[in-house]
Amino acid sequence: MPVDSAAISGASPVSPAPVAPAAPPLRQSAFGMPVGALLPRLREERGLTQQQLADRLYVTRQAVSRWERGETRPGIDMIKLIAAVLDVPVTLLMEMPPEGAFCQSCGMYLTRDEDRARAADGTPSDEWCAWCVKEDGSYAADCTMEEMIEFCAPMMAQANDVSPDDAVSLMGVVLPQLKRWRAE
pLDDT at 24: 30
pLDDT for the residue numbered 11: 40
What pLDDT is attached to residue 95? Answer: 67
The more confident residue out of 102 and 48 is 48
Q: For 9-65, what is each residue's pLDDT tens digit?
A: 344 344 344 343 333 333 333 335 678 889 999 999 999 999 999 999 999 999 999
User: 136-153 pLDDT, tens per residue?
Assistant: 889 999 999 999 999 999
Q: Which domains does the chain have, with CATH numbers?
A: 35-93 (1.10.260.40), 113-182 (no CATH)
Between 19 and 177, where is the model more confident? 177
Q: Which residue has the higher pLDDT, 73 or 184?
A: 73
Asked whether the predicted pLDDT for residue 93 surpasses 90, the reply is: no
End-to-end Cα spacing for the chain: 80
CA 90 to chain centroid, in Å, comes to 11
* 168 pLDDT above the threshold of 70: yes
Bridge partners of residue 109, in order along the sequence: 102
Residue 68 has pLDDT above 70, yes or no: yes
Contacts 24+ apart (CB under 8 A), 24-27: 26/70, 26/71, 26/72, 26/73, 27/161
Run of H or E including 145: helix 145-160
Gyration radius (Cα) of the chain, Å: 24
Give the span between the Cα atoms of 51 and 60, in whole angstroms.
Answer: 7
DSSP state letters, 29-57: -SSS--HHHHHHHHHHHTT--HHHHHHHH
At 163 the pLDDT is: 87
pLDDT in tens, 103-132: 999 998 888 889 999 988 889 998 999 999
Please tell me the pTM assigned to this model.
0.63
- Give the pLDDT of residue 160: 77
